[in-house]
């Protein structure tokens, strides 16, 4: 679906943390702040998305495990574009880690399972129907800023980018909610087709906004 976004469309973005930290979710209506949810329960978060009427849901967690233990194609493509990201492990490696390092990824997998009951995982093509997909706040910020962004000023930069896109941030009082807001903004952009997809259906897509074109300074 391309063109103008319907004024009735609600979308959601979710930041995924380790089980104790839980999930932080933000919804947008007409591209503006609509609501938020914080919970450690993936079932409750998925149900909240449905109650919000979210058509598209963007999640900051891997939607697929690595088939060979190496970085997935989407992650390799991001790196080739200069965007650093974690390499998703195989499910066996995630389950077998002695310190539960990948606990947040396992939590994300549980959330995707619940979302997919009503929002199938994006498989390529358009976003005209209900779906969920993987996104990545650092890559979102990179695209919205038109290139490299500062890791030291992460909170300031991400707040500024959301505000510039018309998303009020007064209620986004933590980095987790700001990241959820960036994912929600990506879901909003997806409805109008203004996104770029890294990866492939078999290994998982990572969806980010299209790169902002920064005008060259005139001498």
Kindly list the domain boundaries of the chain, sorted by start residue: 10-206
- Give alpha helix (H) positions in 32-146: 42-52, 73-80, 91-96, 103-115, 137-145
- Confidence (pLDDT) at 212: 86
Nearest to 27 by CA among 194, 197, 183: 183
- Confidence (pLDDT) at 214: 64
Question: How many Å separate Cα 155 from the centre of its chain?
Answer: 17
CATH of 10-206, picked from 3.30.420.10, 3.40.50.1820, 3.30.530.20, 3.90.420.10, is 3.30.420.10
- β-bridge mates for residue 16, sequence order: 23
Residues in contact with 153: Cβ distance below 8 Å, sequence separation at least 6, in sequence order: none
Does the pTM of the predicted model rise above 0.85?
yes
Tokens of 116: 């997919």
Local structure of 197: helix, strand or coil = strand
The rounded distance, in Å, linking the Cα atoms of 182 and 11 is 12
Q: Are residues 134 and 63 in contact, defined by beta-carbon separation less than 8 angstroms?
A: yes
The rounded distance, in Å, linking the Cα atoms of 142 and 161 is 10
Tokens of 208: 């980010």
- Confidence (pLDDT) at 7: 54
Per-residue confidence of the chain (219 residues) as pLDDT tens digits?
344 444 579 999 999 999 899 999 999 999 999 999 999 999 999 999 999 999 999 999 999 999 999 999 999 999 999 999 999 999 999 999 999 999 999 999 999 999 999 999 999 999 999 999 999 999 999 999 999 898 789 999 999 999 999 999 999 999 999 999 999 999 999 999 999 999 999 999 999 999 987 655 444
**Can you give the three-state secondary structure of 163-180, one letter per residue?**
HHCCCCCCCCCCHHHHHH
- Confidence (pLDDT) at 217: 45
């Amino acid at each position: 679906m391309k063109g103008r976004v319907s004024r009735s469309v609600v979308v959601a973005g979710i930041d995924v943390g380790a089980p104790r930290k839980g999930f932080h979710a933000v919804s947008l209506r007409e591209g503006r702040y609509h609501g938020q949810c914080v919970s450690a329960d993936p079932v409750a978060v998925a149900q909240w998305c449905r109650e919000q009427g979210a058509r598209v849901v963007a999640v900051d967690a891997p939607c697929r495990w690595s088939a060979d233990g190496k970085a997935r194609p989407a992650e390799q493509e991001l790196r080739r574009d200069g965007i650093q990201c974690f390499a998703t492990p195989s499910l066996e490696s995630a389950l077998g880690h002695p310190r539960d390092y990948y606990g947040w990824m396992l939590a994300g997998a549980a959330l995707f399972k619940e979302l997919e009951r009503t929002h199938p995982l994006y498989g390529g093509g358009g976003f005209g129907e209900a779906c969920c997909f993987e996104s990545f706040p650092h890559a979102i910020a990179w695209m919205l800023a038109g290139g490299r962004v500062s890791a030291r000023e992460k909170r300031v930069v991400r707040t500024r980018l959301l505000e510039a896109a018309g998303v009020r941030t007064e209620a986004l009082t933590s980095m987790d909610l700001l990241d959820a807001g960036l994912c929600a903004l990506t879901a909003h952009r997806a409805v109008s087709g203004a996104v770029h997809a890294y990866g492939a259906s078999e290994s998982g897509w990572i969806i980010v906004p299209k790169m902002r074109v920064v005008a060259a300074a005139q001498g």
